[in-house]
């Protein structure tokens, strides 16, 4: 219970601080603010809580059996970054994720 409460406090408190920090991005005139906030709250926290619930239900025996395959799959997925062509998409993604690096002058 303490552990669950701590994690919940971090997520709720974190969402508050994130909202406040997002004002900074808004004030800097970014046009991607809604996609950044959507990405964080819906995909990050929303989908994240769903995945956490699924991970909570899955039995340890399943994790144990899947461990080598998950490690292998994660290595392959990370190595995919090096395939030429995927870089274009990565850069676009990067521009969406960190728009201040792209449309704003560095002070």
Partner 1 sequence: MKIGAVLFAAFYFSQMREETGTWRGIAAFLGIMALPICIMLLQPDFGTLGIITISVFSIFVAAGARARDIGAIMLASIVILGLLSLTPRYSYVYERIDTFFNPAEQNALGDGFQIRQSLIAIGSGGIAGRGFGQGVQKFTYLPEPMGDSIYAVLAEEFGFLGGTTLIGLFLLLAIRGYAVAARAPDLFSGLLAVGLSTYLAGEAFINIAAMLGMAPLTGIPLTFISQGGSAMLVSLAAAGILLHISRRTKNATA
Which residues lie near partner 1 (CB under 8 A)?
2-4, 6-7, 9-11, 13-14, 16-18, 20-25, 27-28, 36, 39-40, 43-45, 47-49, 51-58, 60, 63-64, 66-68, 70-75, 77-79, 81-82, 97-98, 100, 107
Q: How far is the CB of 6 from partner 1 (least distance, A)?
A: 5
Q: Report in angstroms the alpha-carbon separations of 45 from 1, 9, 51, 80.
A: 20, 13, 10, 26
Rounded to whole angstroms, the Cα distance separating 3 from 94 reads 34
Q: How far apart are CA 68 and CA 31, in angstroms?
A: 42
Minimum Å gap between C-beta 44 and partner 1 is 3
Work out how close the CB of 71 gets to partner 1 at its nearest, in angstroms, rounded to a whole number. Answer: 4
DSSP state of 84: T
Sole residue written with tokens 């971090």: 10
Q: Which two tokens stand for residue 39?
A: 């990405």
Coil, strand or helix at 65: helix
- The CB-of-91 to partner 1 minimum distance in angstroms stands at 14
């Amino acid at each position: 219970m303490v552990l669950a409460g701590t994690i919940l406090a971090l997520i709720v408190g974190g969402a508050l601080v994130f909202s406040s920090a997002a004002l900074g991005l808004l004030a800097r005139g970014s046009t991607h603010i809604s996609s950044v906030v959507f990405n964080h709250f819906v995909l990050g926290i929303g989908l994240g809580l769903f995945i956490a619930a699924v991970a909570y239900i899955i039995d340890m025996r399943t994790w144990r059996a899947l461990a080598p395959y998950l490690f292998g799959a994660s290595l392959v997925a990370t190595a995919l970054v090096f395939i030429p062509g995927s870089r274009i998409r990565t850069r676009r993604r990067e521009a969406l994720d960190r728009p201040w690096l792209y449309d704003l002058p560095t002070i």
